[in-house]
């Protein structure tokens, strides 16, 4: 096991001990401060009362050496002694109090990393206040603190992992700032991977049916941007906060609006707020946010930006990888296989585009899975799969290597008769069945739906918009 060695002590050294003594690997402290010797021994830390600059008192082996006195001169001496004794060790040195330029240079010459808490604090404050970046976290903080009551965080209906994680993450930000918050969703969590995420991580969200809007002073939307459009809120209900990565179809209202279509997942934006406001997510939330990013970017192969990679790198050490593996490998339901088989059997291929009506469904999330799988067909760059359930037609589209925007394609085809939206490479739509259900005995509902939807889809495809480059939001979003 790796042996870690602490030379000297101070408040910084004490923090290092608290953070590392439960980790794997033996920790040994050497200090001639009797007060710290007593404190460490009370905590069952192996401690030698001796001069931390005296290499003869060092153990035979150390993989990591932490140098943490408040005295810059002693830190330099300890670092030089440690480097001489352990040429291959990782040495992390605290600069001490008011080091001179020559002392700092001497430490940098022998240590692998030099830590200056004062500089780190200044950098953290600048980062949090937006001095080195955009001021979104500061404006979010201000908006939250203006609320006189609880915040309701609303995910879109039938939420995916990104929406679920984002709702919980924004609620965590609000709670950390002293604003009570509840995360909720409408519809159902039907996709087996989504259910696995919620169950295995023991995530707590409320269903919208049990919500009384009068109990809340503010409303936030995550992973969508307009009340009453793909959520269970009344249309035009006042909204205070909007956090989304989908391009807006119309004007977006809110005191704080953060919509970044160039980012691959809303969870990326939530991680940014947590990081800049100094709020560390617990293991469940970190795992959910990481999974949300991975799903929406298709494991960083679709619509992925630098912030997505940075957020994932920040979340990875905090996430539960074993649980994530279980979430990503759930059993496949019989309904998923049936819908995929129906999509393959009933496919209508025109050039590099395939559309398929799968008839009545019991799980709308199977459409997205089928659309993803059909992209594996040779020569296919655009897929469109649709079916109906409880009086509504649901549709899912995907593209890969195509020069068109499927989000705009579905909007042009189906927004006039329902609602549609998404990105250049993935999109969805909902259309009320309405009078289509009133079919004659000689007709099948599936046939009527196919004729109606397929006609609109292929008509829009003939004049499909190109996939945007360096997307700029269509509307001002604050």
Does some domain include residue 475? Answer: no
For position 21, what pLDDT does the model report?
Answer: 55
For position 319, what pLDDT does the model report?
Answer: 92
Rounded distance between C-alpha atoms, residue 252 and residue 18, angstroms? 46
Asked if residue 125 has pLDDT above 60, the reply is no
Q: Which of 47, 80, 115 is the last residue of a domain?
A: 115
Both 172 and 261 in one domain: the answer is yes
Does the CA dihedral 92-93-94-100 come out positive or negative? Answer: negative
Residue 333 neighbours by CB under 8 Å, 6+ apart = 192, 363, 366
Does some domain include residue 471? Answer: no
Both 170 and 247 in one domain: the answer is yes
Q: Which of 267, 302, 328 is the last residue of a domain?
A: 328
**Residue 126 binned pLDDT confidence (cut-offs 50, 70, 90):** low
Measured at the alpha carbon of residue 238, what is the angle toward residues 236 and 242, in degrees to the nearest 5? 100
Both 338 and 324 in one domain: the answer is no
- Given phi > 0 = left and psi -120 to 50 = alpha, else beta, which region is 55? alpha
For position 224, what pLDDT does the model report?
Answer: 92
Domain count, the chain: 3
Does some domain include residue 123? Answer: no
- Bridge partners of 393, per DSSP, are 388, 431
The number of beta carbons lying within 10 Å of the beta carbon of residue 416 is 10
Among 34-38, 120-124, 217-221, 413-417, name the most confident range. Answer: 217-221
**Residue 124 binned pLDDT confidence (cut-offs 50, 70, 90):** low
For position 476, what pLDDT does the model report?
Answer: 37
Q: Tokens at residue 209, please? A: 């049916």
Residue 411 neighbours by CB under 8 Å, 6+ apart = 249, 420, 421, 427
Does some domain include residue 474? Answer: no
Both 319 and 342 in one domain: the answer is no
For position 468, what pLDDT does the model report?
Answer: 47
Rounded distance between C-alpha atoms, residue 425 and residue 23, angstroms? 43
Both 321 and 197 in one domain: the answer is yes
Asked if residue 331 has pLDDT above 90, the reply is no
Q: Could you tell me the CATH number of the domain that includes residue 427?
A: 3.10.310.30
Distance of CA 298 to CAs 286, 291, 415, Å?
18, 10, 26
Both 73 and 168 in one domain: the answer is no
φ, ψ (nearest 5 deg) of residue 83: -65, -40
Residue 374 neighbours by CB under 8 Å, 6+ apart = 343, 344, 347, 354, 356, 380, 383, 385, 398
For position 423, what pLDDT does the model report?
Answer: 73
For position 335, what pLDDT does the model report?
Answer: 87
Q: Please give the share of the chain, as a percent, with pLDDT higher than 90.
A: 49
Helices (H), 329-444: 334-345, 365-374, 406-414
Element (H, E) at 394: strand 392-399
Does some domain include residue 131? Answer: no
Residue 150 neighbours by CB under 8 Å, 6+ apart = 179, 180, 181, 182, 215, 216, 217, 218
Q: Could you tell me the CATH number of the domain that includes residue 12?
A: 3.40.50.720
Does some domain include residue 235? Answer: yes
Helices (H), 190-265: 192-200
Residue 143 neighbours by CB under 8 Å, 6+ apart = 240, 241, 255, 256
Both 405 and 314 in one domain: the answer is no
For position 51, what pLDDT does the model report?
Answer: 95
Both 210 and 262 in one domain: the answer is yes
Asked if residue 198 has pLDDT above 50, the reply is yes
Both 180 and 283 in one domain: the answer is yes
Burial of 170: CB neighbours in 10 Å, binned 0-12, 13-18, 19+: buried
Count of all residues that appear for the chain in the document: 478
Higher pLDDT, residue 133 or 96 = 96
**Residue 118 binned pLDDT confidence (cut-offs 50, 70, 90):** confident
Mean pLDDT throughout 193-209? 86
Does some domain include residue 17? Answer: yes
What is the per-residue pLDDT across 63-92, written as a single tens digit (0 to 9) for each? 889 998 989 999 999 999 999 999 988 898
- Given phi > 0 = left and psi -120 to 50 = alpha, else beta, which region is 241? beta
**Residue 264 binned pLDDT confidence (cut-offs 50, 70, 90):** very high
Both 195 and 297 in one domain: the answer is yes
Q: Could you tell me the CATH number of the domain that includes residue 292?
A: 3.90.1640.10
Rounded distance between C-alpha atoms, residue 100 and residue 73, angstroms? 9
For position 202, what pLDDT does the model report?
Answer: 87
**Residue 132 binned pLDDT confidence (cut-offs 50, 70, 90):** very low
Asked if residue 478 has pLDDT above 50, the reply is no
Q: Which of 271, 296, 328 is the last residue of a domain?
A: 328
What is the per-residue pLDDT across 310-321, written as a single tens digit (0 to 9) for each? 999 999 999 998
Q: Pick the closest to residue 217 from 186, 238, 236, 243 (CA basis).
A: 238
Both 39 and 170 in one domain: the answer is no
Q: What is the 3-state secondary structure (H, E, C) of 176-190?
A: HCCCCEEEEECCCCC
Distance of CA 364 to CAs 331, 338, 420, 431, 456, Å?
17, 13, 15, 13, 20
Asked if residue 151 has pLDDT above 90, the reply is yes
* CB hemisphere CA count around 406 (13 angstroms): 24
Both 25 and 154 in one domain: the answer is no
Q: What is the 3-state secondary structure (H, E, C) of 282-339?
A: CHHHHHHHHHHHHHHCCCCCCCCCHHHHHHHHHHHHHCCHHHHHHHHCCCCCHHHHHH
Does some domain include residue 467? Answer: no
3-state SS assignment for residue 63: coil
Terminal C-alpha separation, the chain: 52
Residue-number span of the structural domain to which 64 is assigned: 3-115
For position 143, what pLDDT does the model report?
Answer: 93
């Amino acid at each position: 096991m790796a042996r870690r060695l602490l030379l000297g002590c101070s408040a910084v050294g004490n923090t290092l001990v608290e953070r590392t003594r439960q980790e794997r690997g033996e920790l040994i402290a050497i200090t001639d401060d009797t007060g710290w010797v007593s404190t460490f021994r009370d905590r069952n830390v192996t401690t030698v009362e001796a001069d931390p600059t005296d290499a003869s008192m060092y153990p035979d082996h150390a993989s990591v050496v932490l140098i943490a006195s408040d005295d810059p001169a002693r830190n330099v001496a300890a670092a030089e002694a440690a480097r001489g004794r352990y040429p291959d060790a990782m040495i992390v040195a605290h600069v001490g109090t008011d080091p001179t330029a020559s002392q700092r240079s001497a430490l940098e010459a022998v240590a692998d990393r030099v830590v200056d808490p004062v500089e780190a604090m200044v950098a953290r404050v600048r980062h949090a206040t937006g001095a080195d970046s955009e001021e979104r976290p500061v404006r979010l903080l201000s908006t939250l603190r203006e609320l006189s009551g609880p915040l309701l965080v609303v995910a879109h209906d039938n939420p995916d992992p990104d929406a679920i994680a984002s709702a919980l993450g924004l609620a965590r930000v609000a709670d950390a700032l002293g604003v009570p918050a509840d995360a909720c969703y409408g519809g159902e969590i039907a996709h087996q991977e989504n259910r696995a995420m919620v169950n295995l991580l023991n995530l707590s969200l409320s269903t919208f049916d049990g919500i009384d809007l009068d109990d809340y002073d503010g409303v936030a939307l995550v992973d969508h941007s307009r009340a009453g459009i793909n959520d269970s809120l009344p249309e035009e209900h006042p909204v205070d906060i909007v956090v989304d990565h989908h391009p807006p179809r119309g004007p977006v209202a809110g005191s704080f609006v953060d919509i970044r279509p160039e980012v691959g997942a809303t969870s990326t934006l939530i991680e940014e707020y947590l990081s800049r406001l100094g709020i560390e997510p617990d293991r469940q939330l970190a795992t959910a946010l990481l999974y949300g990013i991975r799903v929406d970017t298709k494991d960083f192969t679709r619509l992925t930006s630098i912030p997505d990679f940075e957020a994932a790198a920040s979340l990875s050490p905090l996430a539960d990888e074993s649980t994530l593996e279980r979430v990503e490998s759930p059993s496949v339901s019989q309904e998923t296989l049936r819908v995929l088989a129906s999509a393959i059997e009933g496919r209508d291929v025109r050039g590099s585009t395939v559309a398929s009506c799968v008839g009545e469904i019991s799980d709308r999330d199977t459409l997205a899975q089928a659309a993803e799988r059909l992209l594996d067909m040779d020569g296919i760059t655009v897929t469109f799969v649709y079916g109906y359930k409880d009086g509504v037609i649901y549709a899912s589209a995907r593209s890969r290597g195509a020069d068109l925007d499927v989000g705009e394609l579905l909007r042009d085809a189906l927004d006039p008769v329902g609602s549609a939206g998404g990105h250049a490479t993935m999109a969805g739509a909902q259309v009320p069945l309405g009078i289509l259900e009133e079919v004659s005995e000689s007709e099948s509902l599936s046939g009527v739906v196919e004729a109606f939807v397929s006609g609109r889809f292929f008509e829009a495809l003939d004049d499909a918009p190109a996939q945007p480059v360096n997307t700029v939001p269509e509307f001002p979003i604050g």
